Every structure is written in structure tokens, then in C-alpha cells.
Structure 1
Amino acid sequence: MTFSIVARSADGASHGVAVASKFLAVGAAVPAAEAAVGAVATQSYANLAYRPQGLALLRTQVAAADVVAGLTAADPGRDQRQLGVVGPSGSGATYTGAQCHAWAGGKIGDGYAIQGNILTGPEVVEAMEAAFLASDPTAPLARRLLAALRAGDEAGGDRRGRQSAALVVVSPGQGYGGTSDTVVDLRVDDHPTPLAELARLLDIHALLFDKPDPATLIPLTGEIATEVKTRLAALGHAQDDVNEAMADWAGIENLEERMVPDRIDPLVLAHLRAL
């Protein structure tokens, strides 16, 4: 009743899951990921126990294919299950039970597994694989996963329609404030166009929580500093020191992750100018 991709970033630092379905709050059931360990997607009459069990096996360095074999062998309901697993190295692994609703199947390769059921046809997983492989390997994993998911949707997706989607990416110490491994955790639980909404949320997430690109930072001097101080003062953040004014405003706008002393991120400047 779902299509998904589990994958590892090209540098091996990140793992994630992207999923869409004609199912309420698919993100509450399908995805699981642990930094430096791997990712799991359980679907089609999902066995939610696969999530902690799969991650536990990956944690002990069991290969993805062996994780799939172990989980399904012990499950009397395996003929109705679908499962995707990717670990810290090697190929991903996928499983489709014989009694999953047609069309159902998957694709695997180095660092990814793609699977879906009740799809319009095999072209869905084929389009997802092509989009993932064609994406920039240096791009954030969340963007690559979303590109694959959107390609699957455009190829036909879930033949019952659209309802929900989710995106999870983990990487050691790369979450908010450096105190979490969760880089992205976004869900669209019930929406007529869930992937468009998921893309919108990811754009907002990137603005608020991605780290600034040092090569693009603009010095807070001269006319730029004057403009920034003037705009901030008009918003109620008047300070003699432009850095203090920026910090005061950023805390309200949730932009603190993009603050750099004596510099301003061009995305932050554009946001300020738009207010």
C-alpha cells in the first residue's frame, strides 16, 4: 500500500528513509533509522516489530540481506510483508511477500533498496531508482530521497491515490544544535498532495536548520551592516552591535543555526528583506 526508498549517502555518513502512500500517517508506521547503523522500511500489512529488530541486527554488523532473511523467516505473516533494509556498507536488500497486492516488487543496489506495493506497475520503482542514481551524490541525502520519491509518484505511484508521506535522515551529531543524530524528520499525515507539501516543508527545514555555506557568507560591514541594523530595528530588534541585533532576531525567527559572527548568510539576508 506504499512505496519507499531506504538509502545511505555516498560518503556513508547518513542513512534515511522516504515513503509515500494512500494511508493515514505513513510516517508513523514505515520508517526507522539509526545513525551509523542503517535504515529500515516495513510496509504492506507492516510488521512494526521489524523496525527495532532490524536496527538491532544492523547494530551487530549483520548484512542487510541477512537482516531481511532473519526477520522474514521468523514471521508467520511474511507472505503479506514488504521490507527494505540498508546498512553502513554494501548493497541494500528488499523483500516482497508472495501475497502482497499487485503490483509489488523492488530494486536494490549499492547503498539503497526501493520497494512498493499496490503500485501502477514496475515503472514506479524503476523511476525511483533512476532518479536516485541520477541525483548528485554530494547533495544532502534528504534531497536525493525526495527526488526518488517524487519520480515514483510521477510514474504512477500508489494506484489508489495519495494521502501521506514522510522523510527521515540521520547522521552522527548532525541534528539540531549538534545534540542529536536526527538531521530531518518530516511527516505529512493527511494531504491531497503530500509530496508537494513534503518538499515545501523540507525547504523551510533547510532555511531554518541547515548550516550556512562559508563560501557564500557576506561580511556585516558598510552598507550591508547599515541595512541589516535598520531592518532589524524596524522589527523591534534595535541594538548598537549588529551581531547582537542579529542574534536577538534570529532567536525569534528560529534561524540561530545560520548565525555566524560578523557575517550574514545570503539566505538569511533574503529572508530579512522579505519581511
Structure 2
Amino acid sequence: MTFSIVGYDPKEKEWGVAVQSKFLGVGAVVPFAKAGIGVVATQSYANTAYGPEAFQLFSEGKLAEEVIEMITSRDEDKDLRQVGVIDANGNAASFTGEKCYDWAGGIVGEHFAAQGNILVDEQTVQAMAKTFQETSGTLAERLLAALNAGQEAGGDSRGQQSAALLVVKEAGGYGGYNDRFIDLRVDDHPEPIKELIRVFGLQQLYFAPAKPDRMATIEGHVKEELVAHLRRHGYLELYVDEESIHKALTRYIHTENFEARELERGKIDLDVLDYMKKQ
């Protein structure tokens, strides 16, 4: 009743999983990931003990294929399970039990494993694998593109309900205090993957650093637009000087939680200005 893809980015040292299911809150059940250790997607009568068990084995130096064999061999109901894993070195493996409901199966490639059950047909995992391999961008972008391609190819034969994206990297979480680089869930929605992609766009807007080519000096046309929209949103009075603009913009940024996009005095991230215009 689920399809997922686990992936690894060797350059950025990121591990991640994207998943969709005709199931409420799939993000609370399927994805497990730990920076420097590995990633797990457990589904089809999911055994959530697979996550912690796999992490323990990964930390002992076991490889993906070994871990799959070990965690399933001691599970009496392994024939009902499906699981995809990637170890600390990016090796991937996937397992589909013999009693998983058709269509069920998976594809393993370099730094990814795509798997699903109760699918329309095998084209869902084929589309995920192909898209992940051919798509450029960040690990999160590639995982989402693959998940969306899987849905477009057929997806879960029962329909859609929830989706999730989890990506970890060392000190990648908020404030650098944990490894939860991206952790997003859509628990109940008629088109959960499209909604997850929309929410991911917001996550990038709020928390990704400003791009150099989107940093602008507050002058000329940029200044005119900024002043107009700060006034429209009630942050700036009629009297305008450099100090009042700076204070108004700072107040706006802190109110809207754009601290990650805050630049030095006299500059603005144009993505923030674009968001301001659309409000």
C-alpha cells in the first residue's frame, strides 16, 4: 500500500527517503534516517523495529545487503514485509516478501533503492529509479521528482492519502543542533505528493541560505518596491530614510521567520521581496 525511494548524496553526505501511501500519516511509520549511519524505509505491514535494528547493525559496520538479510531473517512475518535501506557508504538494498500484495517489488541502483507494493504495476518503481538517476539537483529534489514520477506512472492502486520527505546530514537541522536537515509530512491530502512539493518549496524559502545571484542592494527600483510593500503591510510610515527602512525590513523578516535569509544592512534577498509582493 506504499511506494518509496531511499537515496544518498556522496558529495553532500546526505541520506534521505521519500514515500507516499494510501495510509494516514505515512511519515510516522515508514522513514528512518540517521546521518553517518544510513536510511531505512519499512513498509507493507511495516515493522518499525527495522529502523533501530538496521541502525545498530550499520553502526557495527554491516553493509546494506547484510542488514537486509539479518533484520528479515529474524522476523516471523518477513514474507509480508518490504524494506529498502542504504548504509553509511551509500550501498543500497531492497527486500520484498513473497506474500506482499501485487504488484510488489523493487529496483536497486547506485545510491538508491525504490520499492512499492499494491501498485498498479511495475512502472511505478521503474519511473522512480529512472527519474532519480536522470534528475540533477539536491538529494531532496531528486527524491521528490522520483516520487512524483512514480505517482504519474500509476502509483498505489488504491489511491493517495499521505506523503513524507526526510533528509538527514550532520548538523543539518535547525540551528545545527541535530541531523534533521529536511523533515516534512503531508498526513492527509487528496494529492499529497503535489502538496509535499509545495511545502518543500516553502521550506527552502524559509530555511535555505540566500543565493548570491538573488542578493540585491536596496537602491533604485528595488528600494521603491521594498518601500511600497513595507508600507502596504503596515511596517513603514510615510516618512522614509535609510534607518526606518532597515528597521522595518528587520521587523518584517523576524515576524515572517526569514532569519535564515537576513542579509547585511542595506541588502535584501530578492526571494524575500518576491514573497512580500505575493502576500
Q: TM-score, normalised by structure 1?
A: 0.93
Cα deviation 1:177-230 (Å, max 9, x = unaligned)? 333321211111111111111111111111111111123211123443354244
Aligned to 2:76: 76
Selected match of 1:224 from 198, 222, 225: 222
Cα offsets for 1:97-153 (capped at 9, x unmatched): 1111111110111211111111111111111000000100xx121111010001111
What are the within-5 Å matches in structure 2 for residues 117-132 of structure 1? 117-132=117-132
Are 1:264 and 2:262 counterparts?
no
Contact 1:40–1:85, Cα closer than 8 Å, also in 2: yes
Amino acid corresponding to residue 277 of structure 2 in structure 1: R
Could you say which residue in structure 2 is the equivalent of 1:253?
Answer: 256
Q: Determine the C-alpha separation between the residues in 2 that align with 1:179 and 1:257.
A: 15
Please state if 1:215 is matched with 2:218: no
How far did residue 88 of structure 1 move? 2.5
Count residues with an aligned counterpart.
273
Residue type matched to 1:245 in 2?
A
The TM-score, its normalising length taken from structure 2, stands at 0.92
Q: Structure 1: which 5+ residue stretches go unaligned?
A: none
Q: Distance in 2 between matches of 1:4 and 1:173?
A: 25
Cα-to-partner distance string for 1:7-33 (whole Å, 9 max, x where unaligned)? 112415111110011111111110011
- 2:44 aligned residue: 44
CA contact under 8 A between 1:211 and 1:258: conserved in structure 2? Answer: yes
Which residue in 2 is equivalent to 1:159? 157
Q: How far apart are residue 36 of structure 1 and its match? A: 2.0
Cα root mean square deviation, aligned: 1.7
Which letter maps to 1:57? L
Say whether the 8 Å CA contact 2:10–2:90 is kept in structure 1: no
Shift of 1:234: 4.0
Percent of aligned pairs sharing the same letter: 44
Give the AA of the match of 1:274: K
Which residue is equivalent to 1:135?
135
Matches within 5 A, 1:14-93: 14-93=14-93
Distance 1:159 1:170, change over 3 A: same
1:178 counterpart letter in structure 2:
G
8 Å contact from structure 2 (residues 92, 109) kept in 1? yes
Cross-structure match for 1:97 = 97
Asked if structure 1 preserves the Cα contact closer than 8 Å seen for 2:171 and 2:179, the reply is yes
**Equivalent residues of 1:170, 1:184 under 8 A apart:** yes
Stretches of 4+ aligned residues off by more than 3 angstroms: 241-244
